[in-house]
Chain A
Amino acid sequence: MPAKVVKLEAPADNFAFRVYLVEVVKGMVRTLGHLLRNVVPIFVAEGKKLAGNGDGSVKGMPIVSFPEARRDYSERFRGRHILKTRDDGSLKCVACYMCQTACPADCIRIEAGEHPVLAYEKYPTVFEIDMLRCVMCGYCVDACPKDAIWMTKDYELAFFDRKSAIYGIPMLTEKPSDTAADGPGYGYRPYYGESPARKAGEFEPSGLPLLPVLEARGAAINRMPPPPPPKPA
């Protein structure tokens, strides 16, 4: 296809342009239109207790009234990680270091332990993710060959110090909070819908004794601390 080039000309310097007043009025009409489009639904919704969308936000208004209302992110959203567990509560992770290798930020640290139950082979005694290094690229999820790490829609990750941002196994196994209207809050994951694992029994052994992962290193730092004591009067 031959290159198609269009020459543009700046708007002409005609009388209406010079008078300026015409353009002022036109601009006012435009902005006023926006105002009315935003304000009218409020008055309409006033009778319905100002709940146009059922969550405090008003239909037609762009605003997301966080924290009362939340934007509905898709099921691919990349938020806090979650380590998946088997039916018996033990981690699916076999400490193969794939996610640690794939991570461009090097924010994952794994220490492997030998497991007494042969079916499990290895398991992570330490699995830490430094949330203040993680860039949420999702490469760990892609790299996991055992379907052991997913991401969630939990995006509220703010900390008061750097140590508490290192998430250990207890924090990473927490189920996602129900932030979304439509689902359990899982985000980016290797597959959507049915698990593509053919032999579920072999892939996810169950009925085995619980592992002592929670006593592992890293748990002490990352356990939720008690709420701060009430301020003395």
Chain B
Amino acid sequence: MSFIKNTLSWIAPPTAPGVQSGAGGADFLTTKLDVLVQWAHSNSLWPLPFGTACCAIEFMSVVSSHYDLSRFGAEVVRFSPRQADMMIVAGTVTDKQAPILRKIYDQMAEPKWVVSMGVCACTGGFYRAYHVVQGIDEIVPVDVYVAGCPPTPENLMRGIIELQRRIQTGDLARHRQNKTYVPIRVGEQPVIGLPAYSQSVMAPNRPGVSEMPVMADSAEADMGAKADVLKHQGDRS
């Protein structure tokens, strides 16, 4: 994409910001190309199932005959990160699994999207425990959180449809550019002792994090006013 844009800007340099470019100029062309590319992206999401637990069984249901994800152009399940666009993290991610998840995410080619399927992947679910990552947004940026334990296949498909919609409108691309992701798993020391978790607001008597991680905070700041609650009632006409 950037290659095309660069080429086009070499042929016809973009106008200075603020100056209205005439229709038919390079801007018009790239805008139309954007739409085309977004359309193509959204309808050929090749999923990489990072399935670890119960949600992976439901993911199998989603791709098998009853729900058939191929109706959304997402049937080409690829286990190689190099060939996939959309990582579906299905199941609990433990601390032991976390570096692997990050590595696979890094190996995926841009543009890439992450769907967090099920509450374990989203927040750790009811495992507020010593070996469970309290939400994979500690490790990778998440585009869609799908609730449920495990989510029904319809729920996951709704999440993917909404992801497609946002890819098409271009919201996601802009949102991701501003997303300042700080990888937390760095450092010279291989072992970093964390203090026991701070008291949770939601559950004062049990440990677990309730604050948003750094990444999610900035994401929220970016989304700002147009924080779009993905609610089914809203867009069901």
Direct contact of A and B (CB under 8 A): yes
Listed in ascending order, the chain A residues whose CB lies under 8 Å from chain B are 62-67, 70-71, 104-109, 128, 130-137, 154-165, 174, 177, 224-225, 227-229, 231, 233
> A108 vs B206: C-alpha distance in the bound complex, in angstroms?
13
Tell me whether A66 and B220 are in contact (CB under 8 A).
no
Tell me whether A159 and B212 are in contact (CB under 8 A).
no
Listed in ascending order, the chain B residues whose CB lies under 8 Å from chain A are 31, 65-68, 71, 119, 122-126, 128, 135, 137, 143-149, 151-155, 157-159, 161-162, 166, 169-171, 200-203, 206, 208, 212, 216, 219-220, 223, 225-234, 236
Tell me whether A107 and B155 are in contact (CB under 8 A).
no
Tell me whether A161 and B145 are in contact (CB under 8 A).
yes
Q: A66-B157, A133-B123 are known contacts. Are A161 and B227 too (CB-CB below 8 A)?
A: yes
8 Å CB contact of B202 from A63, A67, A104, A133: A133
What is the number of contacts between chain A and chain B, taking CB atoms within 8 Å? 147
8 Å CB contact of A134 from B149, B158, B159: B149
Tell me whether B216 and A156 are in contact (CB under 8 A).
no
Tell me whether A135 and B66 are in contact (CB under 8 A).
no
8 Å CB contact of A105 from B125, B228, B232: B125
- Which residues of chain B are within 8 angstroms of A165 by Cβ–Cβ distance? 122, 145, 147
Name 5 A/B residue pairs within 8 A (Cβ), A-sorted.
A64-B154, A158-B155, A163-B212, A224-B234, A231-B171
Tell me whether B157 and A160 are in contact (CB under 8 A).
no
8 Å CB contact of A161 from B67, B71, B220: B220
Tell me whether B126 and A155 are in contact (CB under 8 A).
no
Tell me whether B65 and A160 are in contact (CB under 8 A).
no
Tell me whether A106 and B228 are in contact (CB under 8 A).
no
Give B114 Cβ to nearest chain A Cβ, in Å: 12
Tell me whether B202 and A130 are in contact (CB under 8 A).
yes
8 Å CB contact of A132 from B65, B147, B161: B147
Tell me whether B126 and A106 are in contact (CB under 8 A).
yes
Tell me whether B202 and A107 are in contact (CB under 8 A).
yes
Q: A71-B154, A134-B119, A157-B148 are known contacts. Are A162 and B137 too (CB-CB below 8 A)?
A: yes
- Which residues of chain A are within 8 angstroms of B169 by Cβ–Cβ distance? 228, 231
Closest to B208 in A: A106
Closest to B156 in A: A158
Tell me whether A160 and B154 are in contact (CB under 8 A).
no
- Which residues of chain A are within 8 angstroms of B158 by Cβ–Cβ distance? 67, 156, 158
> A71 vs B154: C-alpha distance in the bound complex, in angstroms?
9
Q: A224-B231, A227-B228, A228-B228 are in contact. List 12 more A-B contacts (CB 8 A).
A: A63-B68, A104-B126, A130-B123, A132-B119, A134-B149, A154-B232, A155-B151, A160-B144, A162-B135, A177-B233, A225-B228, A225-B229
Tell me whether A105 and B126 are in contact (CB under 8 A).
yes
Tell me whether B148 and A67 are in contact (CB under 8 A).
no
Interface centre among B65, B170, B216 (most CB of A within 10 A): B65
- Which residues of chain A are within 8 angstroms of B171 by Cβ–Cβ distance? 228, 231
Query: Top 8 nearest A-B pairs by Cβ distance?
Result: A106-B203, A105-B126, A158-B159, A135-B149, A156-B232, A157-B147, A132-B122, A228-B226
Tell me whether B234 and A227 are in contact (CB under 8 A).
yes
Tell me whether A131 and B147 are in contact (CB under 8 A).
yes
- Which residues of chain A are within 8 angstroms of B227 by Cβ–Cβ distance? 160-161, 163-164, 225
Interface centre among B153, B157, B202, B220 (most CB of A within 10 A): B202
Tell me whether A231 and B123 are in contact (CB under 8 A).
no
Q: A106-B202, A158-B162 are known contacts. Are A134 and B147 too (CB-CB below 8 A)?
A: yes
Give B96 Cβ to nearest chain A Cβ, in Å: 22
Q: A106-B126, A136-B149 are known contacts. Are A163 and B232 too (CB-CB below 8 A)?
A: no
